Structure 1
């Protein structure tokens, strides 16, 4: 990568990282901005996101994904995780996690071939050897045996569990990034699947007024089927 793209966003990204307690990650700014450049460029052909303005992409995609990093680091400070990002779309949050945690192995899964092709392209341009993309239906794929199965604005909590729970390794964790805490989805999750939300963290996303949260899901019943649900 020659030069840093979007130099006008450099200071905003520095401030966002500082606000998240990620001062040590300033060295990752060129890679984060290079990802943003790839997203804007390929979005024209691949329709990766409805957001067209790069400044809004910075906040609603990059900052939003960065907001979960401090909590994940605190929980797994010295462990190289295997992460499966379900319904990854443009690689969010998977690529952002891979940039911030080069010792983690990240698989970005999506049913849309153009999106997994973009992830593959972006990972190559950014030199992210810890990222791979998988094209296919999540529920039909063999288990990825991930330590962390995560989704961002992907599906209802019940649907997330139904299609993705079998990708969790024994002892692994399932996390869903959501907007405002979805009370109705929580109730349906427990009633429909036997899973429940065991932990909820309100996220503070720099420059974003909307409410965001990270939910941890766990099964209250022993799994009886290939999808890991009862």
Structure 2
């Protein structure tokens, strides 16, 4: 899939960065200082996706990486962000309201405690082992769902027996899983 950044993408990133700096001083949401590296890491895998999703889920959204930046680009996609940590989900809700991100829905709960629905895309950034993540996402994916995971090194052991492709860029492994894993 081709990455087409909207004309206001950089402006939105800057506004998000300001909000994050403000909240991070008080709530220590993330240790990341260089927002451009986070943005590049978040959006790079869009080129690997097979189709444009209409519905997406981000599991363990934390401070909003990768979901916020993906939502800036995938504007016609409805995003549900699952973040059980109250200070992080409150931050995400504030970002949604402050930036008028109508395509975001923030859930202050674990995905496995929510009512399931099938998504076209599921993302997660270094949350847990791949098979454990697939297990907690049961009921949210089917054979057409693209599952995009942002992983570090050692990921090959995690995907044994799973039909997955690994894309590597710098120190990041992006895992794209297609199909249903019940």
Residues 88 and 108, structure 1, Cα contact 8 Å, conserved in 2: yes
Equivalenced residue count is: 181
CA distance in 1, matches of 2:155, 2:53: 31
Give the TM-score normalised by the residue count of structure 2.
0.87
- Over residues 21-64 of structure 1, what are the superposed CA-to-partner deviations in whole Å (9 max), with x where a residue is unaligned? 8575453110011111111111122221123x3xx2331x2221
Q: Which SS does the other structure have where 2:75 is aligned?
A: coil
Verify: 1:216 aligned to 2:176, yes or no: yes
Residues 16 and 95, structure 2, Cα contact 8 Å, conserved in 1: yes
Verify: 1:168 aligned to 2:146, yes or no: no
Q: Which SS does the other structure have where 1:166 is aligned?
A: coil
CA distance in 1, matches of 2:71, 2:107: 15
Q: Structure 1 residues 100, 183: closer, same or farther in 2, change over 3 A?
A: same
- Over residues 147-192 of structure 1, what are the superposed CA-to-partner deviations in whole Å (9 max), with x where a residue is unaligned? 11111111111211111132125522222111235122223xx3xx
Moved over 4 A (4+): 21-24
Map of 2:22 onto structure 1: 41
- Superposed displacement of residue 80, structure 1: 4.9
Residues 179 and 211, structure 1, Cα contact 8 Å, conserved in 2: yes
Higher relative contact order (CA 8 A, sep 6+): 2
- Over residues 123-154 of structure 1, what are the superposed CA-to-partner deviations in whole Å (9 max), with x where a residue is unaligned? 11112110110011222211132111111111
Verify: 1:67 aligned to 2:44, yes or no: yes
Q: Structure 1 residues 71, 65: closer, same or farther in 2, change over 3 A?
A: same
- Over residues 1-23 of structure 1, what are the superposed CA-to-partner deviations in whole Å (9 max), with x where a residue is unaligned? xxxxxxxxxxxxxxxxxxxx857
Residues 143 and 179, structure 2, Cα contact 8 Å, conserved in 1: no
Q: Structure 1 residues 170, 84: closer, same or farther in 2, change over 3 A?
A: same
Q: Which moved more, 1:88-97 or 1:170-179?
A: 170-179
Could you list the runs of 5+ residues in structure 1 that have no partner in the other structure?
A: 1-20, 191-195, 204-209, 221-227
Q: Which SS does the other structure have where 2:47 is aligned?
A: helix
More helix by share: 1
Map of 1:112 onto structure 2: 85
Residues 165 and 174, structure 1, Cα contact 8 Å, conserved in 2: no
CA distance in 2, matches of 1:80, 1:23: 14
CA distance in 2, matches of 1:159, 1:23: 33
CA distance in 2, matches of 1:197, 1:41: 41
Map of 2:69 onto structure 1: 96
Q: Which SS does the other structure have where 1:64 is aligned?
A: helix
Backbone CA RMSD of aligned residues:
2.2
